[in-house]
Amino acid sequence: GDSVTQMEGPVTLSEEAFLTINCTYTATGYPSLFWYVQYPGEGLQLLLKATKADDKGSNKGFEATYRKETTSFHLEKGSVQVSDSAVYFCALTLPRLNNAGNMLTFGGGTRLMVKP
């Protein structure tokens, strides 16, 4: 079945450090890929997405490139801030034939802690 694997956390960085959170996937077909962020006590917010190979999603200084050859979608940010401390989820979705909505498959989540 479809699955998403992301690096286990927590990831602890100092402010202004470079961030990479690895994400790889297995899927039958051509998925769309997402990164969601969850701040403490809140729901999920879409951070960025990519819908086809070689697409780069970007938002708020975060980037991720859809790499079909390595089935990866690693999240990067050049200079993290304390306010980036959150849990990050990688996810994929595949088109469904029964028009029943686009079901997401999530990775396990990676907690990021940024220290001043």
Binding site for another protein (CB under 8 A): 36, 41-46, 49, 89, 93, 95-96, 99-104, 106-109, 111
Nearer to another protein, 61 or 95 (CB): 95
**At closest approach, how far in Å is the CB of 104 from another protein?**
6
Exposure letters 29-52 (e unless 16+ CB within 10 A, then b)? eebbbbbbbbeeeeebeebbbbee
CA distance 40 to 62: 19
18 or 30: CB nearest another protein: 30
How near is the Cβ of 56 to another protein at its closest, in Å? Answer: 18
